[in-house]
Amino acid sequence: MGRKFFVGGNFKMNGTVSGIKDIVHNISTAKTDPNTEVVVAPPALYLLLTREHLDPKFEVAAQNIFDKPSGAFTGEISASQLKDSGINWTLLGHSERRTVLREDDDFIASKTKSAIEQGVGVILCCGESLEEREKGTTVDVVTRQLDAVNKMVDKEAWKNIVIAYEPIWAIGTGKVATTEQAQEVHAAIRDWLSKSVSSEAAENTRIIYGGSVSDKNCRELAKEKDIDGFLVGGASLKPAFVDIINANQQ
């Protein structure tokens, strides 16, 4: 058994009640690859609406959580509250939260630990800026972000983590890492897993690519041996998201 292909849709801060219903209906009624795991992440306000209307064979993710189970943390949502509501996944460490909201590696690691402890799967985002790419420090940056998580969780936790490599310079810009660039970093992440976690984690952990993924480029990217799926932004709001879900079909 190989790693099951995984496609996540990050709606970001987009959507309305009617719009989310339309997107969910399109995904639920489309003919999709049964060998691909699909998780969609609407804004927090629409999590339960999405869970109610989405086909049960697909999962729903929050776009973020806080690292405490409850308490006086106005505006935050905990992993235990997600689990209580039938939401089994969360995104963590997205570059927009790292750069715009100044979340550091340790805070993201703490949130990852909290999610895993509460039985919520994590789509853990990592990636470099254009400046870091041009300096040749991509792998250093990505493994630093992953090391922070590895210090807080045990080896078994990686069974419940999907790593999403998202070069910041390719998110929402229309620029896409070449298949060779993406594969190179994915291979480096898998090598890091082997050396820092375990050979089992390296073999089984899914590493997905994000950064202007579209129905035009997804099939070529999917052919690379260490690319196990995609985290899709803007394209997840469009009918073409179904084509990306089906990118790994032969």
Query: What positions carry a catalytic annotation?
Result: 94, 166
Residue 237 CA to residue 171 CA, distance in Å, equals 15
Strands 229-232 and 207-210 come out as parallel
Give the contacts of 241 (CB within 8 A, at least 6 positions apart). Answer: 9, 23, 26, 27, 232, 235
In sequence order, the 6+-apart residues with CB closer than 8 A to the CB of 59 are: 37, 38, 39, 40, 88, 89, 121
Q: In this structure, are residues 246 and 215 in contact, taking their beta carbons and an 8 Å threshold?
A: no
Question: What's the count of helices (H) and strands (E) in the chain, helices before strands?
Answer: 11, 8
Per the structure block, which two tokens stand in for 33?
A: 């690859």
Which tokens hold the place of 250?
Answer: 């032969």
The residues, ordered by sequence, that sit 6+ positions from 78 with a Cβ below 8 Å of its Cβ are 65, 66, 68, 69, 70, 114, 118
Both tokens of 60, joined, read 């729903």
Cα separation of 48 and 145, whole Å? 31
